[in-house]
Structure 1
Amino acid sequence: MQMASSGTPFPLGDRDERYPLDDARAQENTLLKSSHLSAKTAHVLSTSATDSDIKEVLAAFDSSIETNNADNRRRVRSQILLELATSNSQVINDFELIATQVHSIGSALRSLHETFDDIVRRVDVGNGEVITTIQESEVILAERLKLDHKESLLQAFLEKFTIPATDLDNITSSPQFLDDSFFNTLVRVKMIHSDCQILLGSESTRAGVEIMDQMTRNLNSAYQRVYLWLQRELKFLSFETPTGNHRVRRALEVLTNRPALLQSCLDTLAESRQRTLNESFTDALTGRGEADMKPIDVMAHDPIRYTGDMMAWLHSALVGELEALQAIFELSGSERLDDMPSASGVITIAPTDLDLRDHVRPLADKSLENALSAFRLRTEHVISSHEEPTLLYGLLNILTFYRETFKKLVGADTLLVATTDSLASTTTRQLQSCLRDLFRSVQQDIPKPTPDLSPPLFLHDAMGRFRSLVKSFEASLISDSYKSRAFDMIYSEAMKPYIQGCETLSKDLPSPQCHIFMVNCLEVSKDTLRLSGYGTENYMHIIEDAVDSHVLSIVTSLHNFFLEASGLSTILHVGNNDNEGQPESDLLTENILIESSKQLDEFLPTASSDAESQLIYLMRHSLKKTIIQTALNRFVDDFTVVKASLASHTKSSHLATYFPRTAEEIQILLG
């Protein structure tokens, strides 16, 4: 330091000698210094003279050194080194203060570390105690959660399977009145009873059995209350305003699970309605109910009108009963006890044992039982006291029409339909009996056919009666399925026996008079049958086949008459006689041919008039012409056969001169 202050700078070459380092340190840093110096030198050499930093350094150097020579440079160097040593000494002093402070900080850190260790020890001790407390609290919390869960289950169980005592009293008290709270409580009891099935299938079997037994007793008590209340209400139930009987509807719906109690209530309702409807029917018959109402009994002199008015009243009463019962028995969705909300709020439908709508038709039918008995007595009296077929058939049409109507309304297996069907059968038997009695009276004094072979008077009477029945048949409103049997009965009883009677009469007449007589009778029957389109379609062929059969017989008889009158039968008989064993040349002689030809010439001019005289009593002229023409055609065919036989005969050239007529001449002469 003194050497630096004397102002004599150290030469640059003596730097390493003035501050020797350890040999080992020098050896280690030789390469580093060499590389550092080379880097410094390269950096200085690479620095541009125009660099601003270099300019500042050079400017400062110029201000410090007046003359740039070796002494000045050494002086500057020594001065710089002195300043550097001074600054380093100051740094060391400062670091001493820092070291003192760092020592103080270290003491503080050691004290803090000791305090921290003590805290850690205390925390470890506390942590052990807290863990034990936490474990105990977790056990307590778990127990509490179990208790809360059991409490919620118990609360849910009580809400699900118990009913307040006040509500139970509502369904088990005396049956004075059934309000909406009663039905709501009953729904609740039914839900609990149904939900007990869940308990029976779980571990709570005992609780399920006990609760189910209790709910069963409550349900039985409620059903008994509903039954007693409903029995009283149904005795005085009004059908004038059926839509207001919603409590009766709900009570009936309740009893669908007790069929015996429900049937007893329905019987009570039926008895009440039987009395009411019987009184209404009596009032309608006698006119006792309303002063301006015309009594039905006033029309007793007109059986068809009388029976029709009674049937119309029954029909009106039946429709009214059906509408009223449907309004009572068909519950709306808000009234049905089977629509029970579950615990989740979803509506679940519990199936019922019976459907009230199935009782509507039987109950309506049963309600008319007493009125039906009075109607049956009156109708049977009307049927038995009349023997006019047309009148009886009119009654039968009315009964048949209403029978089909009642069958559509209440079904086939009902008392109303059975009664109407029985009366229709009685009317049918009475009608058949009357028609048969009329025919038997004709059979007992059956007249002989008239000389003009016209249909007998009894057939005209029968056809007039048949026409009246057909008019009633056409005007009736019976179903298509019954029309076939109805018309078959009319035909079988009102026409067919009389046609058979005419056949009996015809047996006493010779041919062709018997066939002409039957054709005349059948034509009258066919004209009558044409009045009904149904008869024309289904029964006309029977009479037409019979007419064709008799016409064929008439044609055959007229044809035989032509053969006999013309003498042609003799030639045909001789030509076909092979039983004698003689040759035809011996049988067909000249005399036979001459006589036959002479007889033929006499026959031809009067053939048509003779044929018409044979059919003079045939009423249908068009048929008469057809028969004559057919018979003449057959005669011409036979003549053609005879001429062909003569032409093939061995003596044809000799015999043909005795029978000169040709088939063309015969056709022209017969016209």
Structure 2
Amino acid sequence: MASNGLGLLQLPPRDSTSSPGPLSPGIPPSPGHPNRTTNPISSKVTSVLSTSYADSEFREALALLDERGINNSAETRRQLRLDVQKEVIDSNGQIISEFGRVADQLRRIGATIDKLNKTYQEMRSHVTASHEATSATIEEASSLMTKKNNVETKQQLLKAFREHFVLTDDEVASLTLTSEPVDDQFFMVLAKAKRIRKDCEVLLGFEKQTLGLEIMDQTSKNLNHAFQKLYRWIQKEFKTLNLENPQIHSSVRRALRVLAERPSLFQSCLDFFAEAREQILSDSFYLALTGTSASGTKDHSVKPIELAAHDPLRYAGDMLAWAHSATVSEREALEVLFVSDGNEIAKGMQEGRENELWRLMADEGDEGPPEFDAVKALNELVGRDVSGAARILRQRIEQVIQANEETILAYKLANLLGFYKFTFSRLLGGDNEDSVLLQSMTNLESEALRQFRSLMRDHIATLQGEFQHTPADLGPPDFLQDALKQLSAIMQTYETSLASSTSKTTSKRDNSEELAEESDDDDDDEFQPILAESFDPFLKGCENMARRVRAPSNSIFFLNCLIAAQSTLQPYSRFTSRRLARIRSATSEHSSKLSESQYNFLVSESSLSPLFSALGPLNAESREDIEKIASLEPTQPAALAGASQGLDDFLPSAVMDALENLKHLQDARLAREVTEEATERFCTDFEHVEELLVLADELREQGADGKADDGADEEPSLRALFPRTTGEIRVLLS
């Protein structure tokens, strides 16, 4: 830094040719005399002024001077250069001394490096010799390590293979030995064995299939033993299983789900179960009937049905109610046992059917095995369980049906059996054709209906004598009234059972009008055979009796019978609508006959029959017909006056006399309607006669050939002889 500072303090000399600065006191030379001499002061000032104070070296020199704290004096300026040079020399000497020490260190380092090189060479020669001596050993060791790694890898693969594809002795024992329990360990090993057999399909995909075949063969044998063990265990559990206990052991359900994978064993197990349950339910039903068990032990806690039932209908109803309760309980218990847990039994059964070899061979070329219906299988199993009790039930109810001699009771029995047949059909499935219970209900209902028809025909046969005599008051005969009372009881019974059946199906059907009409038609069709047996023969007997009576008594008698029948059937129109329609049609027909009879009575008793007969066919708009009126016999003055007199005598009591003819008609409203219809027709015909007579008088007044009458032999007009008007007739007959 001293040398640098010195350089900075050496001001450069000013060039004599340099232009003076703005502060130079020199006088510019004249143009003709150039300035050859230099003023020292001017040159010094010029040199100072030309120095650039922006130079970095100059600034550093000034900063160095400031650090030294040198005063600006003449002596200092003279000694400054010397001091600086001395410092530079001292600094250089120091540097040379330091470099000497560095050189000594470098020489020592070089000696060390030479020694290290020599040692390295010696070690290298030793290492090379050692490497040449151990290379064979190292290669052998490397080969052994590689073999060791391969062996370890194979050991790991073998271990993994054994763990995945081979069952241990303990696992085989748990799976096959009957002395080992059927617990969670058993099912875990069973699942592992099934997985091994499935995974063996992968091994069979390689060229060498021996290992896969051997493992699959051994695993299949173990699985067969396991399923046999499970099958025997389930059979043993079924012997002590209590279905009445809501908490059925979960291990049994689990075992059944697993056993379902072997459909043959599962079906055999179900057969064993069904036989056991059939015997148990049969014994329970016998105990409920008699209060004594099958072994002869008296159970005082049970009230026997045979002693509690007071009549055949109650007896049959109690037996059917017990059968229904037992069937419902059995179905609920079996649902928990066989269909719970997501329908796993159905899935296992389907899988087992698809995997059975003989089934695959049988189904080859077909679409595949049929789908397993768990609900249908459950219904079939419940039907088999209650089949023993159903046979006892059928025997007892057959005895009740055959011993009964009452018609109403026979029908109530048939209706009760029909209701329970419908109930059991919904409970066990309508398509369960093999169900002994459903077949029994169907046969019993048919037998009860046959007994009902037989009793009804016997009753009708005993009434044949009563069909010959018509009551004096033309009212419904006693046998018809008894038959209608009987029919009313039958219809009330049928309606009760119909309401019960409908209430169970309402939630599953659409309440639209169309479906309601279809339901009514079905009910009507179902009840028609009952009406044909319990109603039609009696009404037919009344109709035959009416044919042997003269008119209008025949129509009055049969109308009374029809009215009584209609009033009985009307409250049950839901299933008697067709028969009511036929009754209304017959009522209308016989009402028309009575109306015709009343009309004939009015015409004959009013003495207007000849007049109506003569003038009725004539047309009021035909001049020809009007000209004929005066020449007709009934319109002659004497005959017309007699008809008028007869009409006047008849009119005061005409309505009362007409109603008297229908005094035996038990429906007063119908009697009035029939009479009003006849009087209306009578008034219409009278109006026609009146119009013709008026037209005839008008024509006569004009003369037959259009000339005025001379009045010589004037005869009274037709209206004068027959003065009654239609208005008067209507008032008197109203």
Q: Counterparts in 2 of 1:448-597, with a 5 A limit?
A: 448-476=469-497, 478-480=500-502, 483-485=523-525, 487-532=527-572, 534=574, 539-576=579-616, 584-585=628-629, 586-587=631-632, 589-591=635-637, 592-597=639-644
Q: Is the 8 Å Cα contact of residues 362 and 410 (structure 1) preserved in structure 2? A: yes
Partner of 1:628: 675
**Can you give the 5+ residue segments of structure 2 that lack an aligned partner in the other structure?**
1-11, 14-45, 293-297, 354-371, 503-518, 702-716
Partner SS, residue 51 of structure 2? helix
Counterparts of 1:77 and 1:605, CA distance in 2: 182
Q: State, as a whole percentage, how many aligned pairs show the same letter.
A: 32
AA in 1 matched with 2:699: K
Counterparts of 1:96 and 1:184, CA distance in 2: 89
TM-score when scaled to structure 1?
A: 0.78
Partner of 1:30: none
Counterparts of 1:360 and 1:623, CA distance in 2: 61
Q: What do residues 608-634 of structure 1 show as CA deviations (whole Å, max 9, x unaligned)?
A: 122022212111222222221221111
Match status 1:53 vs 2:65: yes
Q: CA deviation at 1:576?
A: 4.7
- Greater displacement, 159-168 / 148-157: 148-157
Q: What do residues 281-337 of structure 1 show as CA deviations (whole Å, max 9, x unaligned)?
A: 22222222412433222357611011112112212222332233334335659x979
Q: What do residues 33-75 of structure 1 show as CA deviations (whole Å, max 9, x unaligned)?
A: xxxx979982699999x999389656575279xxxxxxxx7xx
Counterparts of 2:150 and 2:48, CA distance in 1: 83
Counterparts of 1:58 and 1:520, CA distance in 2: 165
- Greater displacement, 109-118 / 298-307: 109-118
Q: Counterparts in 2 of 1:49-448, with a 5 A limit?
A: 53=65, 61-62=74-75, 90=93, 94=97, 97=100, 101=104, 104=107, 108=111, 111=114, 148-174=152-178, 178-201=182-205, 205-235=209-239, 237-241=241-245, 243=247, 245-288=249-292, 289-298=298-307, 302-330=311-339, 351=351, 353=353, 359-412=377-430, 413=432, 414-443=435-464, 446-448=467-469
**Cα distance 1:45–1:542, how it changes in 2: closer, same or farther (>3 A)?**
closer
Q: Is the 8 Å Cα contact of residues 176 and 229 (structure 1) preserved in structure 2? A: no
Counterparts of 2:176 and 2:329, CA distance in 1: 36
Counterparts of 2:54 and 2:95, CA distance in 1: 35
**Cα distance 1:557–1:120, how it changes in 2: closer, same or farther (>3 A)?**
farther
Match status 1:664 vs 2:682: no
**Cα distance 1:144–1:613, how it changes in 2: closer, same or farther (>3 A)?**
same
**Cα distance 1:290–1:118, how it changes in 2: closer, same or farther (>3 A)?**
same
- Greater displacement, 81-90 / 467-476: 81-90
Q: CA deviation at 1:652?
A: 5.6
Counterparts of 1:258 and 1:656, CA distance in 2: 110
AA in 1 matched with 2:582: I
Counterparts of 1:92 and 1:243, CA distance in 2: 108
Match status 1:609 vs 2:656: yes
- Greater displacement, 418-427 / 295-304: 295-304
Q: What do residues 160-198 of structure 1 show as CA deviations (whole Å, max 9, x unaligned)?
A: 111111221233234785444333322222222233334
Q: Counterparts in 2 of 1:25-40, with a 5 A limit?
A: none
- Greater displacement, 443-452 / 277-286: 443-452
TM-score when scaled to structure 2?
A: 0.72
Q: CA deviation at 1:86?
A: 6.9
Counterparts of 2:678 and 2:81, CA distance in 1: 182
Q: Give the root-mean-square deviation of aligned CA atoms.
A: 4.6
Counterparts of 1:134 and 1:262, CA distance in 2: 67
- Greater displacement, 350-359 / 516-525: 350-359
Match of 1:619 among 666, 670, 676: 666
**Can you give the 5+ residue segments of structure 1 that lack an aligned partner in the other structure?**
1-11, 14-36, 65-72, 341-348
Counterparts of 2:437 and 2:178, CA distance in 1: 39
Q: Is the 8 Å Cα contact of residues 467 and 542 (structure 2) preserved in structure 1? A: no
Q: Is the 8 Å Cα contact of residues 175 and 226 (structure 1) preserved in structure 2? A: no
AA in 2 matched with 1:447: Q
**Cα distance 1:96–1:471, how it changes in 2: closer, same or farther (>3 A)?**
closer
**Cα distance 1:285–1:485, how it changes in 2: closer, same or farther (>3 A)?**
farther
- Greater displacement, 397-406 / 321-330: 321-330
**Cα distance 1:225–1:39, how it changes in 2: closer, same or farther (>3 A)?**
farther
Q: Is the 8 Å Cα contact of residues 655 and 733 (structure 2) preserved in structure 1? A: yes
- Greater displacement, 386-395 / 144-153: 144-153
Q: Is the 8 Å Cα contact of residues 309 and 318 (structure 2) preserved in structure 1? A: no
Counterparts of 2:490 and 2:672, CA distance in 1: 34
Q: What do residues 386-423 of structure 1 show as CA deviations (whole Å, max 9, x unaligned)?
A: 13121112212321222222223222213212211221
- Greater displacement, 295-304 / 104-113: 104-113
Partner SS, residue 417 of structure 2? helix
Counterparts of 1:281 and 1:294, CA distance in 2: 12
**Cα distance 1:157–1:625, how it changes in 2: closer, same or farther (>3 A)?**
same
Partner SS, residue 533 of structure 2? helix
- Greater displacement, 265-274 / 518-527: 265-274
Q: What do residues 568-620 of structure 1 show as CA deviations (whole Å, max 9, x unaligned)?
A: 332332235589x9972433642453343333223222311220222121112
**Cα distance 1:293–1:485, how it changes in 2: closer, same or farther (>3 A)?**
farther
Partner of 1:8: none
Q: What do residues 115-165 of structure 1 show as CA deviations (whole Å, max 9, x unaligned)?
A: 699699889989x99999999999887776665554433322211111111
**Cα distance 1:283–1:56, how it changes in 2: closer, same or farther (>3 A)?**
closer
**Cα distance 1:118–1:630, how it changes in 2: closer, same or farther (>3 A)?**
same
AA in 1 matched with 2:557: F
**Cα distance 1:652–1:204, how it changes in 2: closer, same or farther (>3 A)?**
farther
Q: What do residues 355-376 of structure 1 show as CA deviations (whole Å, max 9, x unaligned)?
A: 8776443222212222211211
Counterparts of 1:387 and 1:275, CA distance in 2: 34
Q: CA deviation at 1:558?
A: 0.8
Q: Is the 8 Å Cα contact of residues 177 and 229 (structure 1) preserved in structure 2? A: no
Q: What do residues 70-100 of structure 1 show as CA deviations (whole Å, max 9, x unaligned)?
A: xxx7xx7997799589759957974884796
AA in 2 matched with 1:411: G
Partner SS, residue 451 of structure 2? helix
The total of aligned residue pairs comes to 617
Q: Is the 8 Å Cα contact of residues 390 and 472 (structure 1) preserved in structure 2? A: no
Counterparts of 1:660 and 1:399, CA distance in 2: 75
Partner of 2:361: none
Q: CA deviation at 1:427?
A: 0.9
Q: CA deviation at 1:506?
A: 1.1
Q: CA deviation at 1:635?
A: 0.8
Partner SS, residue 469 of structure 2? coil
Counterparts of 1:669 and 1:88, CA distance in 2: 173
